[in-house]
Amino acid sequence: MRMLLPVHLITIIISLVFIAQEAGASPTKPGCPEKCGNITIPYPFGMGKGCYLNRDFEITCNLSSNPPRPLLLQEVQLLQISEDSLRINDIARRSCFNNQSGVTDSLNVTYKLPHHFSYSHTRNKFIAIGCDIFAFIMEYNSTTYTTGCSSLCLNDKNISGGFPSSACSGISCCRNYLQTDITSFNLRIRSINMITPGWTYEPCSLAFIAERNFSIRKTFYL
């Protein structure tokens, strides 16, 4: 039976490192809001004019959520700020093959963070889920590979459901480590079999960066 990836893309947690003109995070500037929900916002981050170092460190507090949610760059959910790093929620990118057009959706996705931030290579890993795929990251505007991995299926028409990350070793799922901190890159997914693409029988695949302790325990509908 065919695997059907959920319509709603999975939410992942990523660790970012930041380099500020100040040496790490320090207490909130006097007269500025200290918290959004249960998250403390230390300088160089801040909420409101004059409370942050520059616009890259501006935090917006979404009061419509319960509890309120701090947003970085007005759209990225912020989970935690430590002395030199952030934990954020992000969305895994999906690539699907269209039998009618013969092309894929979101085959090449560009990630560009402000220059103060980068994806930590010591705290994150690269994961791909799918059949007959090679997923990889390339530096932005470069032909240099940063990391990548291949994922096959034992049965070309099935992906096993509910596998843990410890089993993510190339069958239905693969993982690899980042070699260096990266700020801007292209994430791509390619079919390994160029004659009969795997996307014709398993049309969707996922690839994303997630924290190293991220476990794949999501059940796929077979």
d(CA 126, CA 104) in angstroms, rounded, equals: 21
pLDDT at 8 over 90: no
Position 132 scores a pLDDT of 81
Structure tokens at 189: 């997914």
Residue range 18-55, pLDDT digits in tens: 765 554 667 889 999 999 999 999 999 999 999 998 99
Structure tokens at 14: 């990523």
The domain limits of the chain are 17-88, 92-211
The widest CA-to-CA distance across the chain, in whole angstroms, is: 64
Position 133 scores a pLDDT of 84
Position 101 scores a pLDDT of 60
Structure tokens at 175: 């993982």
pLDDT at 126 over 90: yes
d(CA 188, CA 134) in angstroms, rounded, equals: 8
Q: pLDDT confidence of 155, banded at 50, 70, 90?
A: low
Task: Give the pTM.
Answer: 0.80
